[in-house]
């Protein structure tokens, strides 16, 4: 319990710092074309980061957790892992950099010429942040596999706090580009600290290239993840076609709710993931089921407090946002309503990771991927229709509906899979 509380407190502080960075940028520049361009560029690079790092984490965390008792084998596996990270993220970043004007036009068709040009300018430093972020994510996974949770989280918190001061000083002088370069410096510094905490594993390009089993399993995960994890890009596609500032408004609501989801995931679910792999290795599926159920229940109970808190804050919401972000009453009310409607996404964004981890622990990679792909198609239709009918509010409502149905199906099939294995 002490570990969960510590992780929760650190994750909450870390995510709060990340949100404050965004708020400082918005408060300094105002909601408009420049902030829309920043959020659009961040969304594209973050989706790629999540797709690639999640696929690698799903494959490497069970391996590293099992090798935890064999230090030499564990370190060799980590060097191989880092070699794969270097090859994968370096190659993808190079392709995205060279083709950025093409995919910016395709993903954000509602942007004018100036917004597209600004987005293209912000992409290079954010791709650098993506590159280092991939290494940080996988080094953190390695630390969790040997039950070392606090070091990387504390390091990330300290770097995030430093980023607040950087954007507060640099953005008023150099504009939105300073925010992008601060993100790059933040990720690079986090990598340096995490690299040291993980005992300085030198990436092995040769062994990473030759690890054919992981590459073979990685391809379908990346292909599928590129579909169902690209939800934020669908959101940016539609919001880019709304009035200027809509990308920023919806992005702020998603950032706030996503931050809460990340806190819950790290505090409640992350410490349990290595345990699931070990329970599955021992064949104790009863304990595995009990662990994942408790995680889902805890996340659900805590998630329920967020909309209640928003309701209590509603009378002060407009004053608070107008005084901090300098936005009008209509925009403040729009952000509040979208946060309320995105609480379904909050619960699933946190609890969904533990159900997927349970599938991976028992060696079933196919089922969660297929559910997510089919669910993404359903969600694409629902969110698109909702946006056409109701605008930003409809997009938020459609997002929560899609995630809730996806989670229900995932849990149902997991229970059936465990029943079949147990019998």
pLDDT(409) > 80 = yes
User: How confident is the model at residue 86, as a pLDDT?
Assistant: 92
pLDDT(422) > 70 = no
Distance between CA atoms of residues 265 and 403, nearest Å: 15
Tokens of 348: 């699933």
Crossing angle of the two packed helices 329-341 and 343-361, in degrees rounded to 10: 30
User: How confident is the model at residue 12, as a pLDDT?
Assistant: 67
The model's pTM is 0.76
CA atoms within 13 A on the CB side of 403: 24
Length of the chain: 423
User: How confident is the model at residue 141, as a pLDDT?
Assistant: 82
Mention every residue, 6+ apart, whose C-beta is less than 8 A from residue 186.
129, 159, 160, 162, 163, 166
User: How confident is the model at residue 101, as a pLDDT?
Assistant: 93
The 3-state secondary structure of the chain reads CHHHHHHHHHHHHHHHHHHHHHHHHHHHHCCCHHHHHHHHHHHHHHHHHHHHHHHHHHHHHHHHHHHHHCHHHHHHHHHHHHHHHHHHHHHHHHHHHHCHHHHHHHHCCCCCHHHHHHHHHHHHHHHHHHHHHHHHHHHHHHHHHCCCCHHHHHHHHHHHHHHHHHHHHHHHHHCHHHHHHHHHHHHHHHHHHHHHHCCCCCCCHHHHHHCHHHHHHHHHHHHHHHHHCCHHHHHHHHHCCCCCCHHHHHHHHHHHHHHHHHHHHHHHHHHHHHHHHHHHHHCCHHHHHHHHHHHHHHHHHHHCHHHHHHHHHHHHHHHHHHHHHCCCHHHHHHHHHHHHHCHHHHHHHHHHHHHHHHHHHCCCCHHHHHHHHHHHHHHHHHHHHHHHHHCHHHHHHHHHHHHHHHHHHHHHHHHHHHHHHHC
User: How confident is the model at residue 11, as a pLDDT?
Assistant: 65
User: How confident is the model at residue 103, as a pLDDT?
Assistant: 94
pLDDT category at 327 given cuts 50, 70, 90 is confident
Is-contact 118 100, C-beta < 8 A? no
Which of the two residues, 150 and 251, has the higher pLDDT score? 251
Is-contact 66 278, C-beta < 8 A? yes
Could you read off the pLDDT of 95-152 as tens digits, one per residue?
A: 999 999 999 999 898 888 888 999 999 999 999 999 999 999 888 888 877 767 666 7
User: How confident is the model at residue 8, as a pLDDT?
Assistant: 61
Averaged pLDDT, 205-209: 88
Averaged pLDDT, 70-91: 87
83-110 in b/e form (b: 16+ CB < 10 A) is: bbbbebbeebbeebeeebeeebeebbeb
Distance between CA atoms of residues 220 and 234, nearest Å: 21
Averaged pLDDT, 345-361: 87
Tokens of 231: 């939800």
Average pLDDT, the chain: 85
Q: What percentage of the chain has pLDDT greater than the value 90? A: 22
Could you read off the pLDDT of 266-292 as tens digits, one per residue?
A: 778 878 888 888 888 888 888 889 998
pLDDT(72) > 90 = no
CA nearest to 114, candidates 175, 34, 35: 34
Distance between CA atoms of residues 207 and 211, nearest Å: 6
User: How confident is the model at residue 1, as a pLDDT?
Assistant: 54
Averaged pLDDT, 397-410: 89
Is-contact 25 176, C-beta < 8 A? yes
Averaged pLDDT, 292-298: 91
Is-contact 38 123, C-beta < 8 A? no
């Amino acid at each position: 319990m002490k570990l969960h509380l510590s992780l929760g407190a650190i994750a909450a502080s870390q995510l709060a710092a990340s949100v404050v960075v965004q708020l400082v940028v918005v408060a300094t520049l105002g909601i408009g074309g420049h902030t829309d361009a920043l959020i659009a560029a961040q969304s594209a690079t973050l989706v790629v980061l999540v797709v690639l790092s999640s696929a690698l984490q799903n494959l490497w965390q069970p391996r590293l957790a099992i090798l935890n008792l064999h230090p030499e084998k564990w370190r060799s596996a980590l060097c191989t892992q880092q070699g794969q990270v270097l090859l994968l993220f370096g190659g993808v970043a190079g392709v995205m950099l060279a083709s950025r004007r093409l995919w910016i036009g395709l993903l954000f068709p509602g942007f004018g010429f100036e917004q597209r040009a600004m987005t293209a300018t912000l992409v290079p430093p954010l791709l650098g942040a993506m590159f280092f972020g991939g290494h940080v994510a996988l080094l953190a996974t390695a630390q969790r596999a040997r039950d070392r949770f606090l070091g990387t989280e504390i390091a990330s918190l300290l770097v995030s706090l430093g980023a607040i001061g950087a954007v507060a000083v640099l953005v008023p002088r150099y504009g939105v580009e300073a925010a992008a370069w601060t993100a790059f410096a933040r990720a690079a510094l986090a990598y340096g600290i995490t690299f040291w905490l993980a005992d300085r594993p030198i990436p092995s390009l040769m062994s990473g290239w030759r690890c054919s089993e992981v590459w073979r399993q990685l391809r379908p995960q990346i292909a599928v993840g590129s579909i169902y994890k690209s939800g934020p890009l669908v959101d940016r596609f539609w919001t880019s076609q709304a009035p200027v500032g809509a990308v920023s408004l919806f992005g702020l609501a998603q950032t706030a709710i996503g931050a809460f989801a990340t806190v819950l995931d790290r505090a409640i679910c992350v410490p349990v993931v290595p345990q699931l792999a070990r329970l599955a290795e021992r064949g104790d599926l009863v304990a595995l089921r009990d662990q994942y159920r408790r995680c889902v229940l805890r996340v659900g109970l805590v998630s329920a407090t967020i909309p209640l808190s928003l309701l209590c804050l509603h009378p002060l919401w407009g004053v608070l946002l107008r005084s901090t972000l300098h936005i009008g009453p209509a925009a403040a009310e729009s952000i509040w309503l979208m946060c309320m409607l995105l609480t379904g996404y909050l619960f699933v964004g946190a609890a969904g990771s533990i159900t997927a981890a349970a599938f991976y622990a028992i060696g079933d990679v196919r089922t969660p991927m297929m559910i997510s792909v089919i669910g993404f198609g359903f969600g694409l239709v629902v969110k698109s229709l909702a946006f056409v009918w109701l605008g930003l509010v409809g997009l938020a409502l459609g997002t929560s509906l899609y995630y809730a149905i996806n989670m229900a199906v995932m849990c149902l099939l997991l229970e059936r899979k465990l029943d079949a294995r147990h019998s």
